Amino acid sequence: MEILGIDIGGSGIKGAPVDIETGELTADRYRIPTPQPSKPAAVAEVVHTIVKHFDWSGPFGCAFPAVVQHGVTRSAANVDDEWIDFNAVDLFARTTGLPVCMINDADAAGIAAMAHGSGQDLSGVVLMLTVGTGIGSALFIDGILVPNTELGHLKLNNMDAETDAEDYASDRARKAEDLSWKAWGKRLNEYLQHVEFIFSPDLIIIGGGVSKKHAKYFKYLDLKTKIVPAELRNEAGIIGAAMAARDLAVPA
């Protein structure tokens, strides 16, 4: 079955129809830069453009970089503050005229990884971390997602109220502070050791923009837990968003 998946990020909004049984995109992905400021109405217009680009008329799934509870976005770390406590599912459904399912972007990437990527068929505690502009997290226990874990907002050391782990160890921090892979790898290691201490996971999957560059920094990681790069790379959010919308297409 094909479902359209859309992944909304701080810099780009990407979509493609997905064969949710195989996890493969069935058409080239279409990307539009995220409007700045990234206010709901402007983002909804871009989502509508992507829906029209694929001439889509069925349900679709949308991954979003915030806490998403029952279609309502509850936070806005890397998007406009208007998204806080905003009924996003209602706006997107009204704008496109189609049923839509909203999910946190890291949770979407994790769902894709557990079904079609590095986490395939794994039981136990599996933690997917997407490292990009922010740090997103998706926690699975015997394949069941615990949604909205938001582990990028943990505090490390003596961080002040304004600073979170993602401000220190995300790929945005690496670029903004012009850190070497070694310096940044050590920061990431500090973060991962903290997360490892809290959850004792069986596996950590690193997704997001830096997953394909893992050879540059995995050597600086000193963990007890097995750690692997995500296989689905940048497309995991799109695939997971489409998979999350399955129940809209096949009512229980």
**SS3 category, 246:** helix
Assess 77 for contact with ligand BGC (CB under 6 A): yes
Applying CB under 6 A, does 171 fall inside the site for ligand BGC? Answer: no
Q: Which of 38, 78, 95, 149 binds ligand BGC (CB under 6 A)?
A: 78
- Per-residue b or e along 216-239, where b marks 16 or more CB atoms closer than 10 Å to that residue's CB: ebbeebeeebebbbbbbebbbbbb
Q: Return the range that interacts with ligand BGC (CB under 6 A); candidates 32-40, 51-59, 63-71, 91-99.
A: 63-71
Phi, psi dihedrals of residue 57, rounded to the nearest 5°: -130, 5
CB 23 within 8 A of CB 115: yes
Q: Which stretch binds ligand BGC (CB under 6 A): 22-30, 38-46, 62-70, 198-206?
A: 62-70
Report if residue 106 touches ligand BGC, rule: CB under 6 A: yes
The answer to the question of residue 73 lying near ligand BGC (CB under 6 A) is no
Stretch that binds ligand BGC, among 22-30, 103-111, 171-179, 184-192 (CB under 6 A): 103-111
* Between 84 and 228, CB nearer to ligand BGC: 84
- Amino acid in position 83: W
Distances (CA, A) of 83 to 5, 87, 110, 204: 20, 8, 23, 30
User: Using the rule CB under 6 A, which residue among 92, 101, 140, 150 binds ligand BGC?
Assistant: 150
| Sign of the Cα pseudo-torsion (175, 179, 181, 183, in order) | negative
Q: According to CB under 6 A, which residues from 19 to 58 bind ligand BGC?
A: none
149 touches ligand BGC (CB under 6 A): no
Residue 126, amino acid: V
Residues that bind ligand BGC (CB under 6 A): 65-67, 75, 77-78, 104-106, 130, 134, 136, 150, 152, 166
